[in-house]
Amino acid sequence: MRKKALITGASRGIGAETAKILAGEGYDLFLVCRKSEKEIGHVKEEVEKMGKISCQTMLCDVSDPGQVETMIEQAGDVQVLINNAGISYVGLLTDMSVDQWSQVINTNLNSLFYLCRLIIPQMVRRKEGKIINVSSVWGNVGASMEVAYSASKGGVNSFTRALAKELAPSGIQVNGVAFGMIDTEMNRGFTKEELAALQEEIPADRIGSAIEAAQMIRQILHAPDYFTGQIVTMDGGWI
């Protein structure tokens, strides 16, 4: 019986590249995004060409617990959960509205609770499962002008470590990966000058690719069973 991976934020970037890698390894897929129906349809077409795997897609706002509950019912049995969906806000904290703050926290952090609490029971019954939470180096050290994003990803890191301890007796691995600057839609709001300045700070002298990020997620999936509760940093030596 093939294993199924549920990936949020799967219409582009890290999520889409992870879907392609896992399809190549024979995973059935359940791909989720908030509103990019056309884009996630393209990902579905691409992964289905890669082998005899099943791929379902669904639009779901993971910041909405009601939508998440409906989505999990549709997903069925899931052996691998990759919480990748995320949004950012760049600006002064004092310029941020309460709604904007809530949107970042709900999407980046609360969504993990909404998904995990519904998927964990089936993993516990099987005594098997893997959860990978996509985080950021700003969750490790914080970033000026990105307080809400940093706070949400710091929460993701603590959520990951605590949940790993809770689920380790049931044979379920929970890990996170804190990415540095990756070439994704989220980072395309920077000007060329800003990106050049950031690149100068990175010892690897370049921005990482979404494919490399997906490869890192794959490595964590293939880690030994004893590997759990870890936040792996991948940032080109930056932070």
pLDDT at 189 over 80: no
Model-level pTM?
0.96
The confidence band for 133, taking pLDDT boundaries of 50, 70 and 90, is very high
Q: Is 149 a catalytic residue?
A: yes
Helix/strand/coil for 48? helix
Token representation of residue 96: 């941020």
The confidence band for 192, taking pLDDT boundaries of 50, 70 and 90, is confident
Active-site residue, from 27, 114, 149, 226: 149
Contacts of 83 (CB under 8 A, 6+ apart): 8, 111, 112, 115, 116, 131, 132, 133, 134, 156
Residue 61 near residue 36 (C-beta atoms within 8 A): no
Provide Rg for the chain, Cα atoms.
17
pLDDT in tens, 42-78: 999 999 998 889 999 999 999 999 999 999 999 999 9
User: What strands lie across the sheet with 4-8, from one edge to the other?
Assistant: 55-59, 28-33, 4-8, 80-83, 129-136, 172-179, 231-234
CA dist., res. 51 & res. 172, Å (int): 28
**175, β-bridge pairs:** 132
Mean pLDDT of 15-35: 97
Helices (H), the chain: 13-24, 37-48, 65-75, 98-105, 111-126, 138-141, 147-167, 192-201, 210-221
C-alpha dihedral sign at 116, 119, 121, 125? negative
pLDDT in tens, 140-183: 999 999 999 999 999 999 999 999 999 999 999 999 999 999 99
pLDDT in tens, 70-86: 999 999 999 999 999 99
